Amino acid sequence: MAELILGQVLSYHGDPFIEGPSAAKLDPTGGVLLLGGEIAAVGDGAALRAAYPQATVTDYGKALISAGFIDPHVHYPQTAIIASWGKQLIDWLNTYTFPEEMRFADPDYAADIAARYFDLTLANGTTTVCSYATIHPASVDAFFEQAQSRGLRAYAGKTCMDRNAPKGLQDTAQSAYDDSKHLLDKWHGQDRLSYVITPRFSPTSTPDQLAALGALWAENQTCLMQTHLSEQPDEIAWVKSLFPTARDYLDTYESHGLLGMGGLYGHAIHLDPREVDRLTEVGAALIHCPTSNTFIGSGLFDMETMVARGLRVGLATDTGGGSSFSMLRTMAAAYEVAQLRGTALHPAQLWWLATMGSARTLRAEGKIGNIAVGSEADLVVIDLASTPAIEQATRRAETIWQAIFPTIMMGDDRAITAVYVAGKRV
């Protein structure tokens, strides 16, 4: 049965970082026809109503209808430790992350956290995530089982570490390859699921393990690969001590077959010119994690330079190092970080980063991230007057972007009126 949803429809026909705000289209009386899990038609609401008289109609009035948010760098196993009093990266890992990840040896615990994680993300309007699991294969199974049961498009991989981590969180070069291959064969391409090859970061993998995962990626080029890159100065110095012959941090991946078009490199704050050049040349993606970068004191991502170079940039919560499950809060943090670097990001650019921009990092544009005919019907409906503070600001707005911006800066899960996954309200 077709469903027609009506409201203010936001879609993109270009990149607002290149074309400006005109790359976005806002139809104040728009409609989206949902049929068979896809978007079957987009246009004027009244015209669609007349063209499809048999469709069920849901009228959201002045609410904003958008593609669902996409979060391309998360750690679902850190759900329970989000907003723990933090130090910096290495202390955070040792104090909070590693002890919590040890608990995922218990499949029941992994299943409980996976369910809680998706409850929280869907409540915040996020319909696709790309997650690190733990070294335990059951943690990957728990994530994908939950995603599959909810009909979600989702990405994840077993985190691989064979040094500089507690013994209970270490695998080996061979077991990392074997476990990852088994999980890849089991889950990749099942329904809306994609496996992602996942070395945590160079300090926790020996050269042998990095090479093994590079070989696995070469054998499975439809997969993405995710890792961390140049998050904090102390981390970069540590990498230099562990890989003394490497040209730079990126070279620890490049020399082991872990640099490529399908690579997702989280944080990427303190890059050398050679690293930027190589990332650009191969068409890799950088994932900006602003709440995490400020929460644990990592630094300020250079959005202006990276998009000017043509790099694919996505926006992510990095939960639980990031301090919110909300992509609205993450957009606000991205705005604040850019302001500190002297750039005021337009609301059209911020929203694009959380939808179409992040879809491009996952090589999933055309499937998710935009309201377009033939795209998968993952949608979020946003109340642009969800709190008294936001309502009074919106009431004064003279343009739709002025009406949207207060929700970006002050919105939370109260702004989420409805979420659709594959055309079904969840």
| pLDDT score recorded for residue 87 | 72
Tokens of 206: 């020996």
Q: What is the DSSP string of 4-65?
A: EEEEEEEEESS-HHHH-GGGEEEEEEEEEEEETTEEEEEEEHHHHHHH-TTSEEEEEEEEEE
Q: Could you tell me what percentage of the chain is helix, strand and coil, using 3-state DSSP and rounding each to the nearest 5?
A: 45, 25, 30
> Any residues with CB less than 8 A from the CB of 57 and at least 6 apart, and which?
3, 4, 5, 6, 49
Residues paired with 27 in a beta bridge: 9
- What tens-digit pLDDT sequence spans the chain (426 residues)? 899 999 999 999 999 999 999 999 999 999 999 999 999 999 999 999 999 999 999 999 999 999 999 999 999 999 998 988 867 767 878 788 889 999 999 999 999 999 999 999 999 999 999 999 999 999 999 999 999 999 999 999 999 999 999 999 999 999 999 999 999 999 999 999 999 999 999 999 999 999 999 999 999 999 999 999 999 999 999 999 999 999 999 999 999 999 999 999 999 999 999 999 999 999 999 999 999 999 989 999 999 999 999 999 999 999 988 899 999 999 999 999 999 999 999 999 999 999 999 999 999 999 999 999 999 999 999 999 999 999 999 999 999 999 999 999 999 999 999 999 999 999
Asked if omega into 320 is within 30° of 0 (cis), the reply is yes
215 vs 213: CA distance, rounded Å: 5
Residue 4's closest CA among 19, 37, 42, 249?
A: 42
DSSP string of 142-158? HHHHHHHHTT--EEEE-
Which residue reads 């909810």 in tokens? Answer: 150
> How far lies 281's CA from each of 2, 39, 131, 278, 284, in Å?
44, 34, 26, 5, 8
Query: Within a 10 A sphere around the Cβ of 174, how many other Cβ atoms?
Result: 12
Q: Where are the domains of the chain?
A: 3-68+370-425, 69-325
Interatomic CA distance for residues 8 and 152, integer angstroms = 24
Residue 410, CA distances (Å) to 124, 176, 265, 329, 392 in order: 13, 42, 28, 7, 12
Instruction: Read off the pLDDT of residues 272-297 as tens digits, 9 standing for 90 and up.
Output: 999 999 999 999 999 999 999 999 89
Cβ atoms within 10 A of the Cβ of 23, count? Answer: 18
**What's domain 69-325's architecture?**
Alpha-Beta Barrel (3.20)
User: Does residue 180 contact residue 188 with C-beta atoms inside 8 Å?
Assistant: no
175 half-sphere exposure, CB direction, 13 A CA radius: 12
**Assigned fold of 3-68+370-425:** Urease, subunit C; domain 1 (2.30.40)
Residue 1 structure tokens: 């049965």
| Residue among 32, 35, 26 nearest 8 (CA) | 26
Q: Is-contact 92 382, C-beta < 8 A?
A: no
17: region left, alpha or beta (phi > 0 left; psi from -120 to 50 alpha) = alpha
* Residue 86 confidence (pLDDT): 67
Position 268, amino acid: A
Which residue intervals of 103-221 are DSSP H helices?
107-123, 137-149, 173-187, 207-219
DSSP string, 79-90: GGGTT-----HH
pLDDT score for 93: 80
